[in-house]
Structures are given as structure tokens and as C-alpha cells.
Chains A and B, each alone.
Chain A
């Protein structure tokens, strides 16, 4: 596999001597309709209920959680797509809710949905995304083929509309889009969900390669425990908006006296990881 190291270092406003991510008592609530209380009644539901953690530069941290646990809300808060209701988040020392322009230069994201203009080709979609980060045509002409090659995207399909590509191919282009802008913080929100086993392994290999060759800090949100354990230095468990722990997998198992992360989840929550009850449906409906 090609390496990402060929990318030229870009001058980014990264402060030295501060954590890559510093989150303190971060809260986010959403209002939703409450039919039982009346036609126009609304009630507040906490998506994140006071989360605190730190990620050091170069670290890969995985946040585990079921659907609706608040993982995507956390990623959206860190990528300036949501405004918090309390607490604070700093990325390389910059306030995530006030220094948004700086944060946007530092962060990029890969989400579960590939999200592209379906009629446009991979090259066109990447070109459009790159312009927003100030990359002129003279640079994208060489960078786009290079980065697509690095993620294993076939050269002869670069000009095909995205709608003709498989989900695995689209996710490779999504990774290429995120890496093209040389982010120092990469937010991966269930990047392998819905992929076939082969594509999943390929994407996981890319993530390892990015860590090895690219100066990036990675926050990986997933509900795949094996993926978290194999990729991350530390593993956190987000359950109904609360971060129950964040430590190396071995420490988690030792703390709960168990052999697997599934057992640790059960020990921490009293529920089986795959079990999603009615209350979880309500969370999933609101927080995605």
C-alpha cells in the first residue's frame, strides 16, 4: 500500500505543548416533541451529559458506544457542526466553539455515510472539497491522483460518477477527502459500518498507515469492539451521553476483572452490548 508520508507539511496553527483534544464537562441537549405532554410540548434530552477527556497529540483513541449513545454528537461538536449547551472543548489549544475557522483547518472527518455529489466523479468531488481548504488546481492535479492511489482507489475509475461505485469504494474516497487536506485531528465516525469484511480490513489498514506516516491524532467512534481494540491506544465507553471510562483496553479488562470488552460493557452498564431496548430507540431517533 502507498504511504501518505509524501504529503508536504502544511503550515497549520497547531500550538505546541497542549493536548490535541481537551474536553471538559461538554454537554449537548436536543429538544424533541413530547406527544404525551401535549401537541406542542417539547422536552429536552441530553445527548452528551457532561463529558470530560483528553487526547494527546499523535494518540489514537476509540470511543465505543451503541447507536444513540452520543458518539456522533461528540464528533459533530468537535467539528464545529453543533454548538454546545455547556462545558468546553479545545483542539490544540483553540476553543472549538469560538475559533471555528482555525479549528476547521485542523480537523477533518469521515462519517458512516460517504456523502458526495453522486453525479460527480471521485476526482471532481475531491477537487471541490480541496478548494475549500485553499488548494488550487495546480496542486490538486497531482495530489488527487496521489491520494486516491494511496487509499487503493483504481486509477481507471477516477472519472466515474460516485453513484456507480460500491459502498467500500465510496468510503475509500471519503478517506482520501479527509486526508487530502492534511488534518492534524482526524475524526472517524463509524468509518467501517456497513462495509463488507474485505473493505473493512482495507479501511482499517489505511487508518494504521495514516497513523504510521502522517502526523495525525485520531478519534475513532465505533460500535465495533474488535476494531477499537486493534486500532486504538485507549478505549472509551460512551453510554447514553456519559463517558464511563477511557483507558487502555488491558486496563479496562483488569478493572472489571473480565476478558473481553463486551464483558466490560456489561459490567459497566448492566446491559449486553448488542441489546438495544425501547429506551435506546428513543435515543437513536434523536441523536442518530
Chain B
């Protein structure tokens, strides 16, 4: 086997190891995950019930409820991705394993992609359960929904989300005490400008400008079109996501590597917080 082939093999085995570890942890914390799922469903219901309160004709109420549900599900999905990728540092520091992971001969890009890959798989399962549980509870009718297109678009958007998650995952390296929480600030800000529960057009002009560079804008718009109207994958939503992914992944890696260097320079890898 050539040197490149051997390195590639080692990286793939390492990536599989990260996914494998997260499977073990999900199994160990399954009851906690179920409890968290219940909380997420309750939280989503508090948003989707708003559609009932505005007293619209039945068809419009159904559409509004679906749009709110899509927003809440993508919020939850994004939360899982950010949580997992940010935990690349935060959880390992808490367990005390971070130094062993960082001194292993695995590239940081594989390490972060491994976390991102599992986050996307796990997030998609949770998002699917959340969507159908709330839709059934509220009694939303989805006769035209194109779930395949919605799922595919979410998958494409996930690459950009992982890139942005990499940028926020560096925060616990820089601030062991508060860094992880700052990741949620980034998540909230991204969704606020992306029209999570409202059209982008109702926001001030400067927020609409920022919405154009947020991957959540295209994921929300495309998924709503697929689930409410049965639209297929729209190139107008796909190409901006691909462009953002091409920029976000290398930028995320660069920022993480700079954060790692800072932590190694100042002895912040080991510190607990």
C-alpha cells in the first residue's frame, strides 16, 4: 500500500472510531436522550400551537402550523449539530480525554468531520421523530409533502452547518468556562436572520443582507416549499448551500486549527471548565 493509501486508510478508520464512540455514548445516555426528546417536542408544541391561536381558515392554519413546525425542527436539528461539534472539545475536556485525542495521529479535519457526520445522522433521526410526533399531535395534514427532497436539502445544508459548527467548536478552547454556551449564541443569531418562524422579507434590510450568507435561509425556504407545496430540490436553494459549504469548511478548519494552536501555546487544552 502506498504512503498516501495507508494514511487515507488510517484516517477512515479514525473517522469510523469517532462515529463508533458516539454510538456507544448514545446507547449509554439513551434515557437522557429520550428525556431531552420529550422536552424538544414540548418546546416545539409551544411554537406550533400559535397557528391555532390566530383563528385562520383551516387550510391557512394548516399551512402556518407546517411552516412553524419546519422552523422548529430545523432549529432543533441545527442545535444537535452545533452541540455535537462544539462538544468535540467541551465533552472531552469534561471527561479528561482531550489530551489523548489531541495527541493521536489523526488529522483535525477527520476528527471534526467524524463528529459532524455522527451529528448529522443523529440529528436527522431526531428531526424526523420530532416532525412526525408534533405533526400527529397537532393534526397537521401533509398531502403534498415531498419528504425526500426536504431530507436531501437538509443533508446538503448539513455540510455548511458542520463548517460553521467547526468555527464555534473552537470557543471552548479559547474560553473553557463559557465557550460552549457561546456556540448557542451563534446558532440563535443564525436562525434569527434566516427566517426561522417568519419570512426573511419582514426583517430590516441589513438583516436580509446577512440572511443571504446563512445556510439556514436556504434550508428553511427549500424545506418549507417541499413539505407545504411538494416542491422538488430547487437549484436556487442548492447552489448557495454548496457555495457556503465550500467557504465554511476550510474556514472552519482554519479557525479551529488557530484555536488549537492558541490553546497549546497557552496551556489551555488540559484546563477543566
Contact = CB atoms under 8 A, between A and B. Distances in A.
Given A30-B266, A79-B103, A104-B105, A131 B17 contact: yes
Given A81-B99, A117-B97, A128 B20 contact: yes
Interface string A136-161: 10000000000000000000000001
Interface string A92-118: 000000000110110111010111111
B99 to A, nearest CB: 5
Interface in B221-250: none
A83 B261 contact: yes
Contact of A117 (B25, B105, B107, B265): B25
Contacts of B16: 131
A132 B104 contact: yes
B36 interface: no
Contacts of A128: 17-18, 20-21, 24
A80 interface: yes
A132 to B, nearest CB: 4
B102 A81 contact: yes
Contacts of A258: none
Given A134-B10, A135-B13, A82 B267 contact: yes
A129 B246 CA distance: 31
Interface string B78-119: 000000000000000001110111111111000000000000
B221 to A, nearest CB: 39
Given A83-B261, A105-B105, A116-B95, A124 B266 contact: no
Contacts of A116: 95-97
B20 A288 contact: no
Contact of A131 (B13, B29, B99): B13
A288 B96 CA distance: 14
Interface in B46-90: none
A15 interface: no
Nearest to B104: A132
B264 interface: yes
Contacts of A129: 100, 104
A132 B110 CA distance: 10
Given A115-B96, A115-B99, A117-B95, A127 B17 contact: yes
Contacts of A102: 105
**Chain B interface, >50% SS class:** helix
A165 interface: no
A80 B25 contact: no
A102 B101 CA distance: 15
Q: With a 10 A CB-CB cut-off, give which of A79, A109, A131 has the most chain B CB atoms.
A: A131
A31 interface: yes
A177 interface: yes
A129 B24 CA distance: 13
A117 B17 CA distance: 14
A14 interface: no
A172 to B, nearest CB: 16
A133 B11 CA distance: 9
A136 B103 contact: no
A120 interface: yes
Q: With a 10 A CB-CB cut-off, give which of B16, B20, B99, B107 has the most chain A CB atoms.
A: B99
Nearest to B111: A132
A203 B269 CA distance: 27
Q: With a 10 A CB-CB cut-off, give which of B25, B104, B265, B266 has the most chain A CB atoms.
A: B104
B259 interface: no
A136 B16 CA distance: 9
A141 to B, nearest CB: 13
B215 to A, nearest CB: 30
A177 B95 CA distance: 16
A110 to B, nearest CB: 10
Contacts of B265: 82-83
Contacts of B102: 80-81
Nearest to A101: B105
B21 A117 contact: yes
Q: With a 10 A CB-CB cut-off, give which of A104, A115, A131, A132 has the most chain B CB atoms.
A: A132
Contact of A136 (B13, B104, B264): B13
A177 B105 CA distance: 14
A134 B9 contact: yes
B28 A119 contact: yes
Contacts of A130: 17
A83 B264 contact: yes
Contact of A107 (B13, B14, B17, B103): B103
Interface in A26-64: 30-31
Interface of B: 6, 9-10, 13-14, 16-18, 20-21, 24-25, 28-29, 95-97, 99-107, 261, 264-267, 269-270
16 contacts: A80-B264, A81-B269, A83-B261, A101-B105, A104-B105, A105-B105, A109-B99, A114-B96, A117-B25, A119-B25, A120-B24, A124-B21, A130-B17, A132-B17, A132-B101, A161-B28
| The 8 nearest A-B residue pairs measured at CB | A131-B17, A134-B10, A132-B104, A104-B105, A115-B96, A119-B28, A128-B21, A83-B264
Given A76-B270, A127-B17, A177-B100, 8 more contacts: A79-B103, A80-B103, A82-B269, A117-B97, A119-B28, A130-B17, A131-B17, A132-B105
